[in-house]
Amino acid sequence: MFFSFAKIIGTTTDGQIADAAICLNTTIINFTYFEKTSLEVAYHIHRDNGFSSGKILAQKLIQKETKVLISFATCYNTSGEEYLQGISSINKDIIVSGGIAAHSENSKNTYVFTKDKVFDKGAVAVSLNSKTLQVYTDYSYNWSQIGVGLTITKAVNNRVYKIGTRTAYETYKHYLGEDIAKDLPASGTEFPLIINKDGFLVSRAVTEVHSDGSLSFAGAFHDGNIVEFGYGDIKSIYEKSTQIAQHVAQKPAEVIFIYSCLARRHYLNDDIINELHPLANIAPVSGFFTHGEFYTAKKKEFLNQTMTLLVLSESTEVKHTKQINKLFKKFTHQAISINALAHLINVVSEEIKENRKILQNQKDAFETLFEKSAEGILLLAENRFIDCNETAYKSLGYPSKEKLLHVAPYDISPQYQPDGRLSIEAAKEYIAAAERGEDQQFEWVHLTYDGIPTWFEIKLAPIEIENKKYVYASWRNIQNRKEMQERLYHQANHDVLTGLANRNLFYDRLQHAIAHALRDKAQLVLFFIDLDMFKEINDSFGHDIGDLLLKEVAQRLKRNIRDEDTVARIGGDEFTIIMENVKNLNIVAQKAQNLLEEVAKPYIFETHTFHISCSIGISVFPYDAQNLNDLVKYADTAMYKAKQEGRNRGWFYSNEMTQIVSHKIKIENGIREAIKYKYFETYFQPVIDARNGKIVGAEALIRWNDIHKGVILPDEFIPIAEQSDLIIDIDNWMMQSAIAQFSQWYKEGKEPGVLSLNLAIKQLENPHFLENLQNVMELYDFKPEWLKLEILERQVMQKVEENSEALSVLKALGISLAIDDFGTGESSFLYLKKFRTSQIKIDKSFVMNMNNHSDNKEIVKAIIALGNALNLEVLAEGVETENDKEYLLQNGCYLMQGHYFAKAVKAVEFVTLLQ
């Protein structure tokens, strides 16, 4: 009848508790009937050592009205701590009771089960949900510590490998004797390891012995834990049992669940009923003996060697009113336990003697080392020297120990250390840190007995001697080393020829100067100086004269700066000056003029007199730049501007220069992104035969579809691209895009005519250009006669001879060549003929202004005549009116481009024009 609606959870056990009776090797089912409390049961198979099971069961079972969870978990694969942490991760306040399953005498395995499931790796739980359920918990521990504290030196979760220098098994054998060690893990329940967890004593009993000498315990340990052996205090156990019963008697109690460690049953044997009997007189008692108990006080704890109570009542009535009498029964220990305790005490006594002997030997050794050490050694307390060795006082030139001990550490130091700190404050900080247990090592300047500053390397560490705390200080003289370091530092950071700061020190000083200017909101000025015509003198008169000039320039520059300024030679005939904390920029211009005049004075070496000048670029922080690299770059840019303006002058970097450089960098980065993310698009502007209005070709023009600005025309980015190799990347992209499109049109029978592509001079000079062009044409089956390459007149005439070979190869391939923007450069009739150009294009600046400027009409007319005379096609760009068209036709120009006919359009629109 009960099974049809009962909620069942259970476990294997070392023994069952039924009221005051202990039942062994049998199965007991205990039924508890609840009227006002609902119950929910769940189980979970472990995926780890218990954390996830605890978390999942808590998620399944804990409700708003849940008062308590009763849970059992299998033994050898559950970490009690991890399991409770999993529950706490969901609800840290819920009361958890129960424990870890124990095996019976008939089986070495442990199991937990519900009505429907039995398993050996996991946990079961039941939640008690009620508004009125009264819950009281308590526990009895009463295992006492004995012996010395031992340190866990190697542990992984609940498996301990080393305690001190011994294996865990050898530790038990050493302290408790061979009989106890051989009987592990059974004997381990009587002699657990006790650990103090935040003031809460917790026992951990041995659960398994491993062949490598390690032991598994009922709970986890960590490296560094201090543990002690424990033993059961019979008197305290009985006193605590009485005390617990007295407390429970004052609470509403309808049922008492007891989960007690199996160690208590084995330790107390039949006398265990004396611990249970007072409770059975209060209310029905049931429970079992566990391999570890779940208990909730301020937080959830996993315990061993305890008896835990869960007292429940659906009523608030206190029914038991009888006096609980104090229990006492004489308990006889087993002989093996007595021997074990005696052995433990004897071993501990011997170890204490041995430790004292070791400590004395260490003290003697320390005193010997103290006096004979080659390093100075001192003891400090309360910021005073207490003792020192002979090396310590002699290293400072003191005549005796007493003289040195009479002073404080900071009394033998200069007022300030080289890093600017007050010696007294810095010394107190180091000593205080050492007193806190933090070892210190640092370099320090002391004053000798004669007042000479001397470098020492100092180490500080805390030390305890005869229960008194000191700071142990050791020092050694490193004056020679520091002097060598300073010489090496000077060599590494100064120019060998002039003695000025070199490039390394200049950048370091400039970085610090910028930091100071930022902190103080001050101005910083950088001069970048380059000597004019120095190379000519150096080449003509030799390096010896050149070196003399450089050294004299360096001296003149140093004589004309403030003490706080830095002058550096950063390479060749380049110098820099850093001026910090400049309040008035007017003095900067005057300073530059003074430097120009000083450098320009004659240089007389033996019988020769030399005259040189310099160009100075000036950048100002924070107005021109806010970082080191830009500040140097802008000063360098301004210096070159000074040279361009005629040398022997200074030049300030301007905001306009900054904007130009910034815009250039922004455009270059944008071009790279446009190529990468395909923001470029090819447009086509028709080339018209004005005699019949027929489209005979198209010029491919690039457009940049910027996601922020929209369409960007080539005039804004092509000139910048031409200053770098980006123009080659653009040309390659255009080449492939336009050729692919035209080839497609030809395959579709649309007859688009000749494709005109603009060719940058850098592309023409690119050694891979011809190969790349042929590969693209071959890829798209593009015929050479369909292609015309346009080269700007001003570019092709700059390097005529260098470009002639490549142009000749293009003509040999059958590709037409056109000179673009004709009339704006300096073309030679000879080279026009030599290049075998097939077309010249009149620049649109002439065509668009013909109606307003008669000179432009004459220029256009002359270019047409020249082209016809040389048997070249002439194409006019920028045709915008009917008058433009008619004038060009009358003078023999038939090929035209311009908005009068059609502007540059996308490929889909160009197809419409073809139709």
Q: Is pLDDT of 342 > 50? A: no
Task: With respect to residue 207, please indicate whether it lies within any of the assigned structural domains.
Answer: no
Q: What is the mean pLDDT of residues 159-185?
A: 92
Listed in sequence order, the DSSP H helices in 318-422 are 335-372, 390-395, 401-405
Q: Which of 313, 329, 344 is the last residue of a domain?
A: 313
Q: What is the mean pLDDT of residues 770-788?
A: 96
- Which among 80, 84, 123, 101 has a CA at the least distance from the CA of 220? 80
What are the C-alpha distances in Å from 139 to residues 243, 469, 871? 11, 41, 115
What are the C-alpha distances in Å from 382 to residues 385, 434, 438, 904, 914? 8, 12, 16, 89, 99
Same domain, 640 and 563: yes
Per residue in 50-80, pLDDT (tens digit) is 999 999 999 999 999 999 999 999 988 888 8
- Predicted pLDDT of residue 367: 60
Residue 231 half-sphere exposure, CB side, CA atoms within 13 Å?
Answer: 17
The full DSSP string for 40-64 is: EEEEEE-SSSSHHHHHHHHHHH--T
Same domain, 677 and 814: yes
Query: Residue written as tokens 């008035």?
Result: 584
User: How is residue 662 written in tokens?
Assistant: 């910034």
Residue ranges of E strands in 55-182: 66-73, 95-100, 112-114, 118-119, 122-129, 134-140, 143-156, 159-163, 166-167
Indicate the number of domains in the chain. Answer: 4
Residue 748 buriedness (CB in 10 A; 0-12 / 13-18 / 19+)? exposed
Q: Which of 609, 625, 653 is the last residue of a domain?
A: 653
User: How is residue 94 written in tokens?
Assistant: 């819920």
- Higher pLDDT pick, 199 / 603: 603
The full DSSP string for 326-348 is: PP----PPPHHHHHHHHHHHHHH
Q: Is pLDDT of 510 > 60? A: yes
Q: Is pLDDT of 540 > 90? A: no
Task: With respect to residue 114, please indicate whether it lies within any of the assigned structural domains.
Answer: yes
pLDDT confidence band for 762 (50 / 70 / 90): confident
- Predicted pLDDT of residue 607: 83
Same domain, 441 and 573: no
Per residue in 244-288, pLDDT (tens digit) is 888 898 999 999 999 998 888 887 777 788 888 888 888 999 999
Same domain, 642 and 673: no
Question: What is d(CA 643, CA 648) in angstroms, rounded to the nearest whole number?
Answer: 7
Amino acid identity for residue 906 in this structure: K
- CATH number at 737 reads 3.20.20.450
Same domain, 694 and 815: yes
Task: With respect to residue 225, please indicate whether it lies within any of the assigned structural domains.
Answer: no
Q: Is pLDDT of 726 > 60? A: yes
pLDDT confidence band for 339 (50 / 70 / 90): very low
Task: With respect to residue 201, please indicate whether it lies within any of the assigned structural domains.
Answer: no
For residue 54, give its domain range: 2-139+234-313
Q: Is pLDDT of 826 > 70? A: no
Q: Which of 462, 482, 502 is the last residue of a domain?
A: 482
Same domain, 399 and 512: no
Residues 6+ apart with CB under 8 A from 261: 189, 205, 289, 290, 291, 292, 293, 303, 304, 305, 306, 307
- Predicted pLDDT of residue 187: 82
Percent of the chain with pLDDT over 70: 91
- Predicted pLDDT of residue 331: 47
Q: What is the mean pLDDT of residues 366-370?
A: 59
Question: What is d(CA 691, CA 760) in angstroms, rounded to the nearest whole number?
Answer: 31
Q: What is the mean pLDDT of residues 454-481?
A: 88
Task: With respect to residue 6, please indicate whether it lies within any of the assigned structural domains.
Answer: yes
Same domain, 59 and 117: yes
Same domain, 17 and 67: yes
Residue 850 buriedness (CB in 10 A; 0-12 / 13-18 / 19+)? buried
Q: Is pLDDT of 162 > 90? A: yes
Helix (H) or strand (E) holding 638, with range, is: helix 628-644
- CATH number at 471 reads 3.30.450.20
Are 217 and 204 within 8 A, CB to CB? Answer: yes
Same domain, 684 and 783: yes
- Which among 724, 723, 718 has a CA at the least distance from the CA of 703? 718
Task: With respect to residue 329, please indicate whether it lies within any of the assigned structural domains.
Answer: no
- Predicted pLDDT of residue 70: 96
Q: Is pLDDT of 535 > 80? A: yes
Task: Supply the Cα-derived Rg of the chain in whole angstroms.
Answer: 49
- Predicted pLDDT of residue 831: 57
What single DSSP character describes residue 416? Answer: B
Phi, psi of 624 (to 5 degrees): -85, -35
* Peptide bond preceding 714 in cis form (omega within 30 of 0): no
Phi, psi of 164 (to 5 degrees): 65, -125
Residue 535 falls in which region: left (phi positive, over 0), alpha (psi -120 to 50) or beta: alpha
pTM assigned to the model: 0.42
Residue 678 falls in which region: left (phi positive, over 0), alpha (psi -120 to 50) or beta: left
Same domain, 628 and 716: no
Q: Going by DSSP bridges, is the β-strand pair 574-579/566-571 parallel, antiparallel, or unpaired?
A: antiparallel
Q: What is the mean pLDDT of residues 670-698?
A: 94
- Which among 778, 872, 865 has a CA at the least distance from the CA of 831? 872
Question: What is d(CA 164, CA 197) in angstroms, rounded to the nearest whole number?
Answer: 20
Question: What is d(CA 810, CA 828) in angstroms, rounded to the nearest whole number?
Answer: 20
Residues 6+ apart with CB under 8 A from 603: 548, 549, 552, 609, 610, 611, 612
- Which among 618, 498, 608 has a CA at the least distance from the CA of 557? 498
Same domain, 11 and 82: yes
Task: With respect to residue 185, please indicate whether it lies within any of the assigned structural domains.
Answer: no
User: How is residue 499 written in tokens?
Assistant: 């003695």
pLDDT confidence band for 834 (50 / 70 / 90): low
The mean pLDDT value of the chain amounts to 87
What single DSSP character describes residue 546? Answer: H
In DSSP terms, which residues pair with 377 in a beta bridge? 474
Per residue in 745-759, pLDDT (tens digit) is 999 999 999 999 999
N residues, the chain:
915
- Higher pLDDT pick, 497 / 235: 497
Task: With respect to residue 331, please indicate whether it lies within any of the assigned structural domains.
Answer: no
Question: What is d(CA 636, CA 619) in angstroms, rounded to the nearest whole number?
Answer: 9
Are 874 and 851 within 8 A, CB to CB? Answer: no
Same domain, 125 and 262: yes
Q: Is pLDDT of 889 > 60? A: yes
- Which among 389, 394, 379 has a CA at the least distance from the CA of 477? 394
Amino acid identity for residue 161 in this structure: Y
Residue 706 buriedness (CB in 10 A; 0-12 / 13-18 / 19+)? middle
